[in-house]
Structure 1
Amino acid sequence: NIRWIYIITFLGECYLTMSIWLFFYTRYLNFSEITTLVVMQQVVQLVFEIPTGAIADLLGKRKTLIISYALYFCSIFLTPFFSTFWVFFALEFMKGVAKSLASGTYEALTFDTLKEKGKEEQYPKVNANIISISWVAYIVAGLLGGVLYDISYFLPYLILACFFLAATIILLLKVKEPSIDSEQGNLNYKKYFSQMTLGFKELFSKQTTGTLVLFLLLGTLGYYTASEFMGISQGKSYGLSATNVSFLFTGGYLVSAGMAQLFTKLLKKGNVVLIAVTSSLFMLASYALALFVSPVLGLGLIMARIGSSSTFSNARSVILNQQISSKNRATALSTFSLLYTLPYVVVVYLGGKVIDLSSVNTFALLLGVLLIVGIAVSLTFFFVAKFRLKPGELQT
């Protein structure tokens, strides 16, 4: 599967609309309506997050991804043909379901494919390759998205839809379900609801794991908010056009792609938790300092945040997968996604209010302070608990 997973990664992550979606929506909607769509999509993902993770473990990861990518294709293909809020609402709803179906499932399929062959020790390298491919896809999308949008706002959406259609066909014809300790094919309501509770146990049952997961959640929240909302909002607030925002993102993607390949070397020389903590400092600085620096330095901070995100994401993936059993892997990873999506919904809603009253970077400062305090507290409890353990008790 791994060869095909690499190809699907590129197709699914070459998200040509990532740097132009805000420009497209402002053609027809005001900022309040746009924020409503963003929040709604995340609420849908939040509601379906754990249920779809349970479905992936019980129905099968491959089948779940096929449904997800088919929904992505439909929602993206239809978007540029409409101009009304309620149609966009329905399409973003569909996209939220698709995102929740893929969340955790893709990562679980990758890890279990390796585990089936007894090669799970290769996961950090394979995951680093996936992240590097993702950043290459982001670079291509960053370079082309704004240019295609300037030619015709239809083009980024239609080409991206074709990418998801191709990925769906590959999943149908080439990818196989790993034959390991999952219960696919036996989906029923009793197992379904039982499976939903196991994600929390996988994440929080072990000593010290809870505080470490809290740090990972807060760090992921910071990066996720940046990639989904703050990055493009800050770029637009600095007066950049759609094409210039694309080029800004591309610069960060180039750095991040390189850092993803360096991760395995860093992992050999340092502790994976320390790597995650160090990389998160760039994200925190990009929020806390944005209000006080010049636009040029502010854009540099955005690039540094993007560049450090692959290192954090890779470290987070290694830490979490060391703690989770294959049987409940998709459920647990979907649970993790739910736990940072919930506060993200609140962050975006309140962010829209603050931005209307003040500015994007004022909100960035407030969010940065909250993240710094939360991360400091979680890491303090983690290291206190860690030093109380006997050597070897904490796997990470």
Structure 2
Amino acid sequence: MASTRSASHVPFQLGRFYAHTVLVNFLLWLPMWIIFLQQVRGMSLGLIGIMQGVGFVIAAIAEVPAGAIADRYGRKVSLFIGAAAFGVLTILYGIVSWVPLLFVIHIMWSVAQTFFSGTDVAMLYDGLKHAGREQEYSKVMGRYTAIVQGTQAAAALIGSFLANYSMLQPFMWSGMACIVGGLLLFKFREPPVEQPSKERRGMLAELKDALQLSVQLNTLRNFIMFSTILSLPTFMLLFFFVQPYVLSSSISVGWVGTVILLLRLASITGAALSHRLTKGMKDPVILLLLPVIMTVCLAVAGFVPVIWGIVVLSLMGFCSSALRPALTTMLNRMIPSNRRATVLSMQSLLFTLLLAGTQTVLSSVVDEYGFPALFFILSAVVAVTGALFLVFNLRSVQQHTAQPSSTMSSDG
């Protein structure tokens, strides 16, 4: 019934929002930016790792002020700043040849992403809510995630072929697409952002409470560390190490995009089938079986030819993505509802900081000892982390995840 939708509801321009999403996620440079820095700019993988690590740390620090801009001046302003800056910096990334300046551009590049990282999802939820379509959020969010993943996968495939002709083109076209995506927001009707109540506590106070909760509850603290460490290998391989790994064999740069597409499809499939795969399985079985498969896959990848290594790593990515929703569900059951957002934000910050440190170190390891050493270290990290967690926390996890989060008490 048309009358059921109040006149106060503001129609949400979902089509324009999707178009913006496609343009800012058209990352043609994704399958070749490491190769570009190595072959065209003459940078070692270790130096690239340091640059990436510094960028991660600065970006983590920038998350708070970027969020403040979105809250104070509007989501549309934040998204436009992020898209426009990211687009211009992407073009400069391909043009600038002086490494020190490129280092600065990379850091700014990382910071620019914080302006639309998370803000897009907030705008989507607010838009649907003010349009009276809040009940559709789960379905629309699934479609939005598919658009992001699909766009990046297609762009990786196209970008790898463009790189055969010119490694500058992927940066140029992606940069221009991102700028156009930002310009689309000029005629975008932004839903009103609800102003915080006077009782709302500040960011520092909320983070302090979340930190105290995590410290006091040993199981929660250990589970956060466990789930964060297990998510590192897939992310590092997909976004950083897979490019030089593929080129360490006779595979040409034109196939890198196809490899990334296969790895991403494996991850998407794992996430999509996670509920079916883990349905009926007890938490101890999930926490034991999937990390063991990940450990074996990483170990095997270091001893087989690259083409088979890609197949094995696809299986590892499938298991990692299948494990992530189960871990998230367990974690959410352990966190009191009034602290959930801040604790999960702390986990995101921990992930960024760990990623910055480990990727920097492992880049130097690959430079010195090659990819077998990388896979051996990652395999050992997953195995040791999983074993220690299961030995000391399995019983507590079973107890805490079996009861409502509001009743959870300190296990220290």
Using structure 1 for the length normalisation, give the TM-score: 0.80
Is the CA contact 1:108–1:326 (under 8 Å) kept in the aligned structure 2?
no
Whole-Å separation in 1 of the counterparts to 2:17 and 2:288: 29
Match for 2:101 among 60, 78, 87? Answer: 87
RMSD across aligned positions (CA): 3.9
Match of 1:42 in 2: 56
Q: Residue 135 in 1 paired to residue 135 in 2?
A: no
Is the CA contact 1:256–1:306 (under 8 Å) kept in the aligned structure 2?
yes
Q: Alignment partner of 1:150: what SS? A: coil
Q: Residue 148 in 1 paired to residue 157 in 2?
A: no
Match of 1:11 in 2: 23
Q: Which deviates more from structure 2 when the two are superposed, residues 140-149 or residues 232-241?
A: 232-241
Match of 2:6 in 1: none
Match for 1:29 among 39, 42, 65? Answer: 42
Whole-Å separation in 1 of the counterparts to 2:275 and 2:19: 21
Q: Which amino acid aligns with 2:98?
A: T
Structure ID, larger Rg: 2
Matches within 5 A, 1:216-231: 216-231=227-242
- Please state how far the C-alpha of 1:307 moved relative to its aligned partner: 4.4
CA 1:18–1:6 in structure 2 vs 1: closer, same or farther (change >3 Å)?
same
Whole-Å separation in 2 of the counterparts to 1:352 and 1:365: 14
CA 1:222–1:313 in structure 2 vs 1: closer, same or farther (change >3 Å)?
same
- Please state how far the C-alpha of 1:339 moved relative to its aligned partner: 0.5
Whole-Å separation in 1 of the counterparts to 2:287 and 2:18: 24
Q: Which amino acid aligns with 2:37?
A: Y
Q: Which amino acid aligns with 2:101?
A: V
Whole-Å separation in 2 of the counterparts to 1:335 and 1:393: 21
Q: Residue 65 in 1 paired to residue 79 in 2?
A: yes
Could you list the per-position Cα deviations for residues 212-261 of structure 1 after superposition, in whole angstroms to 9, with x for gaps in the alignment?
A: 33233112222221222222232222343221111111222334444554
Match for 1:335 among 323, 343, 346? Answer: 346
CA 1:328–1:6 in structure 2 vs 1: closer, same or farther (change >3 Å)?
farther
Is the CA contact 1:249–1:303 (under 8 Å) kept in the aligned structure 2?
no
Is the CA contact 2:228–2:350 (under 8 Å) kept in the aligned structure 1?
yes
Could you list the per-position Cα deviations for residues 314-337 of structure 1 after superposition, in whole angstroms to 9, with x for gaps in the alignment?
A: 5566667785879994x6655332
Whole-Å separation in 2 of the counterparts to 1:135 and 1:257: 8
- Please state how far the C-alpha of 1:12 moved relative to its aligned partner: 3.0
Whole-Å separation in 2 of the counterparts to 1:56 and 1:276: 38
Using structure 2 for the length normalisation, give the TM-score: 0.78
Matches within 5 A, 1:165-184: 165-174=179-188, 176-177=190-191, 179-180=193-194, 183=196
Match of 2:8 in 1: none
Q: Residue 352 in 1 paired to residue 363 in 2?
A: yes
Whole-Å separation in 1 of the counterparts to 2:401 and 2:322: 29
Could you list the per-position Cα deviations for residues 10-37 of structure 1 after superposition, in whole angstroms to 9, with x for gaps in the alignment?
A: 3333311111112211212230432332
Matches within 5 A, 1:174-323: 174=188, 176-177=190-191, 179-180=193-194, 183=196, 191=202, 193-194=204-205, 197=208, 200=211, 208-262=219-273, 283-308=294-319, 310-312=321-323
Whole-Å separation in 1 of the counterparts to 2:302 and 2:401: 45
Q: Which deviates more from structure 2 when the two are superposed, residues 167-176 or residues 221-230?
A: 167-176
**Structure with higher RCO (Cα < 8 A, 6+ apart):** 1
Q: Which deviates more from structure 2 when the two are superposed, residues 311-320 or residues 341-350?
A: 311-320
Q: How many aligned positions are there?
A: 390
- Please state how far the C-alpha of 1:194 moved relative to its aligned partner: 4.1
CA 1:316–1:165 in structure 2 vs 1: closer, same or farther (change >3 Å)?
farther
Could you list the per-position Cα deviations for residues 32-56 of structure 1 after superposition, in whole angstroms to 9, with x for gaps in the alignment?
A: 4323322221221233234444554
CA 1:361–1:137 in structure 2 vs 1: closer, same or farther (change >3 Å)?
farther
- Please state how far the C-alpha of 1:159 moved relative to its aligned partner: 1.4
- Please state how far the C-alpha of 1:72 moved relative to its aligned partner: 0.9
Q: Which amino acid aligns with 2:155?
A: A
Q: Residue 385 in 1 paired to residue 396 in 2?
A: yes
Q: Which amino acid aligns with 1:140?
A: A
**Structure 2: runs of 5 or more not aligned:** 1-11
- Give the % identical residues: 22
- Please state how far the C-alpha of 1:87 moved relative to its aligned partner: 1.9
